[in-house]
């Protein structure tokens, strides 16, 4: 099993103001699935992604990622585990402001010990795949929001992570770039068998889902498996 959540509850806050962001969520996802998570704002999507990404811990319940009980892993080991196994596209992109696009994309590889020249070569290939070959030397502040988002997608893919987590990957990009990004995610999922989790409001994204999960008030509602429509890439 790629990811397994057992009775996961996440409560934010303490004292009188408490928010139950996830309410007794269980989910088993096998390697190679593409789970598309849809639900209104504030329903718990980002919280769920953060917990799967091991960036946040549940208040109660168990989380297994690639068979590992992540609650039992010390933070220092967890950092490397994350770097090696999990690609994350944050809603806010989180690019490093003083690094160029190609340096940002190369960063996870360099951190894992890949030689800088090789890491930059791969970064440029990935930037080409998201249509940004001409932006390799630009800094984040020199790029539009949509360009930064595609750089962040390229960075999430850089280390060929078995698990890919994408928070609203197609918001903020125009329809052409959105289908380019979606096509890339589809290829990574199909060809490299990465397990993909995508939170989205974009119904187009459901086209690449092997599983469509609705979330509302921190509870999951799974539909029958959606027909996976072939995408032209
Ligand atoms: P989304 O677009 O997913 O709805 P939000 O705007 O709700 O995102 O949240 C953005 C960030 O702010 C998230 O990282 C979330 O953890 C944090 N956040 C959301 N609501 C609160 C809150 N009530 N108190 C503190 N942090 C919050
Ligand atoms: P979504 O991604 O679907 O918009 P979130 O997971 O960001 O939902 O948020 C789920 C609920 O938890 C919301 O009510 C939000 O305000 C709350 N929340 C999220 N992060 C925090 C936080 N760090 N502190 C307090 N409340 C939070």
Helices of type H across 16-144: 45-52, 75-85, 101-111, 116-129
State the pTM of this model.
0.88
Cβ–ligand 2 contact at 42 (below 6 Å): yes
Whether the ipTM is more than 0.85: the answer is no
Residue 129 burial (CB count, 10 A): 19
Query: Does residue 224 surpass a pLDDT of 80?
Result: no
pLDDT in the model for residue 171 = 87
Span 80-129, pLDDT tens digits: 999 999 999 988 899 999 999 999 999 999 999 999 999 999 999 999 99
Ligand nearest to the CA of 215: 2
Probe residue for ligand 2, chosen from 10, 21, 166 as the CB with the greatest number of ligand atoms within 8 Å: 21
What does the alpha-carbon distance between residue 145 and residue 140 come to, in Å, rounded to a whole number? 9
125-182 tens-digit pLDDT: 999 999 999 999 999 999 998 899 999 999 999 999 999 999 999 988 888 888 888 9
**What pLDDT digit, counting tens, does each position of 18-28 carry?**
999 999 999 99
Q: Which ligand is nearest to the CA of 46?
A: 2
Q: Rounded distance, CA 30 to CA 195, Å?
A: 8
Atom 19 of ligand 1 has which residue's CA nearest to it? 42
Tokens 């994408």 -> residue = 166
Location of structure tokens 């103001």: 17
Atom of ligand 1 nearest to the CA of 46: 3
pLDDT tens digits, 178-214: 888 898 899 889 988 899 999 999 989 998 999 999 9
Q: Look over the chain and give the mean of its residue pLDDT values, rounded to a whole number.
A: 92
Question: Which two tokens mark 37?
Answer: 């998570």
Taken in order 180, 183, 188, 189, is the CA torsion positive or negative?
Answer: positive
Specify which residues 220 forms β-bridges with.
Answer: 215
pLDDT band at 222 (very low <50, low <70, confident <90, very high): confident
- pLDDT > 80? residue 225: no
- Going by pLDDT thresholds of 50, 70 and 90, the confidence category of residue 229 is low
Look at residue 9 in the predicted model and tell me its pLDDT. Answer: 97
pLDDT at residue 14, rounded to an integer: 81
pLDDT at 91: 87
Joined together, the tokens standing for residue 171 give 């918001």
Pocket test for ligand 1, best of 46, 49, 57, 198 (most atoms within 8 A of CB): 46
- The answer to whether residues 185 and 196 touch, using CB atoms and an 8 Å cutoff, is yes
> How many CB atoms sit inside 10 A of residue 203's CB?
9
């Amino acid at each position: 099993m790629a990811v397994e959540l057992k009775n996961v509850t996440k409560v934010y806050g303490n004292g009188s103001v408490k928010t139950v962001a996830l309410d007794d969520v269980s989910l088993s996802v096998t390697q190679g699935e593409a789970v598309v998570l849809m639900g209104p704002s504030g329903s718990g999507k980002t919280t769920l992604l953060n917990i799967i990404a091991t960036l946040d811990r549940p208040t109660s319940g168990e989380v297994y990622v690639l068979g590992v009980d992540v609650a039992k892993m010390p933070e220092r080991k967890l950092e490397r585990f994350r770097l090696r196994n999990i690609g994350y596209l944050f809603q806010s992109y989180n690019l490093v402001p003083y690094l160029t696009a190609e340096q940002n994309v190369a960063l996870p590889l360099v951190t894992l010990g890949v030689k800088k020249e090789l890491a930059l070569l791969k970064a440029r290939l990935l930037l080409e795949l998201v249509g940004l070959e001409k932006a390799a030397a630009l800094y984040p502040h020199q790029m539009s929001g949509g360009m930064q988002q595609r750089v962040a997608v390229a960075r999430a893919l850089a280390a060929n992570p078995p698990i890919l987590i994408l928070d609203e990957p197609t918001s903020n990009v125009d329809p052409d770039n959105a289908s380019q990004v979606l096509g890339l995610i589809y290829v990574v999922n199909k060809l490299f068998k990465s397990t993909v989790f995508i939170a989205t409001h974009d119904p187009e994204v459901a086209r690449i889902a092997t599983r469509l999960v609705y979330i509302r008030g921190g509870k999951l509602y799974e539909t029958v498996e959606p027909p996976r429509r072939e995408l032209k890439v």
